[in-house]
Amino acid sequence: MVTRAVFLDRDGVLNANIERGGRPVAPWRLKDYEILPGVPEAISALKRAGFVTVVVTNQPDIATGRSTRAILDAMHDKLLRYVAIDDIRVCPHVDGDACACRKPKPGMLLEAAADHAIVLDRSWLVGDRWRDIAAGHAAGCRSILVGDWDGDVPAGMRPAHARTKSLPEAVAVILREDHLQAAG
């Protein structure tokens, strides 16, 4: 049996972003952390189809001091109470740290793939930023861009394989493609 995964960005995919300075950003406080509608059901559908679900999230607010590891852990505890996630990987660094885990680098995906024996070319990444999609490409996954925020996409970047408005729509694409691949 091939182990397939769906790697999931957190903010803007599983939980709502908040707006600061006219742009969507991660919540800093637990009281602002809200799981988006349809997320628990979408993840359950992936699990029924045999996918491992792994959150891969950049959380630079830890490095900058805007939030704390304790708040982040409380947010993840809340997520795990409502959503059947198999693993959560966090990069607490900023770009200047030049770590291997901060998306668009694929470090979190590669580590999770090694730990769970995941076949990357049979897996997906779902994210709401170009960094997510680039990390998926770098790891060899197919990718889906969720939402309508593009930000500053680097010139020449390969687009996502699909684009949807929400995680439930992304899961429908994944399950349809998975069914077609199994039938073909």
Active-site annotation holds for 9: yes
Residue 66 burial (CB count, 10 A): 15
Beta bridge partners of 124: 6, 142
Nearest to 26 by CA among 10, 39, 4: 10
Catalytic residue among 11, 61, 128, 132: 11
* DSSP code at position 160: P
Active-site annotation holds for 95: no
* DSSP code at position 140: T
**What is the C-alpha to C-alpha distance for residues 47 and 113, in angstroms, rounded to an integer?**
17
Beta bridge partners of 41: none
CB-based contact 7:123 (threshold 8 Å): yes
Q: Residues with catalytic annotation?
A: 9, 11
